[in-house]
Amino acid sequence: MTLYIIGTGPGSLAHMSGRAVEAIRSADCVAGYTTYMDMIADLIKDKEIISTGMMKEVERVEKAIEKALSGKSCALVSGGDPGIYAMAGLAFEICKTGG
C-alpha cells in the first residue's frame, strides 16, 4: 500500500522534481484535479485515473486513499507544493479520522 502525495511545481513538466516524475511513473493510479492532470497527460496516459473538477478535493483524496488501501500504489497530484496547497494536510486528516 503506497500513497504518494506529489506537487507539480510551478506548472511545467520540465520544472517537476525527478522524484515526483519517478513516483508518478511507478504508481498504478493517479488522482488529481482535472487541470493538473492535463498538465501531466504524457506521464499518466497508461494509468488508472481519478480526475475531478474544482471543489472535489475531499472526494479525490478519499478515492486515492481507497486505491492505496486496496493494494495499489496511487499518486495524489496537487498543483505547486502539496504541503502548502493543502492536499497533504487533507490526506493526513482523512487518514487520521478514518475518512
Class in CATH terms, 2-97 = alpha beta
Q: Is pLDDT at 11 greater than 80 in this prediction?
A: no
Extended strands (E) in the chain: 2-7, 29-33, 48-52, 73-78
Q: Which residues pair with 3 in a beta bridge?
A: 74
If pLDDT is split at 50, 70 and 90, which confidence band does 99 have?
Answer: low
Mean pLDDT for 70-75 is: 97
| Per-residue pLDDT reduced to its tens digit, 82-98 | 888 778 999 999 998 87
Count CA atoms closer than 13 A to 6's CA, side-chain side.
Answer: 33
Q: Which residue from 34, 39, 37 is spatially nearest to 54, judged by alpha carbons?
A: 34
Q: Is pLDDT at 56 greater than 80 in this prediction?
A: yes
> What is the sign of the dihedral through the CA atoms of 82, 49, 44 and 74?
positive
Sequence ranges of the domains in the chain: 2-97
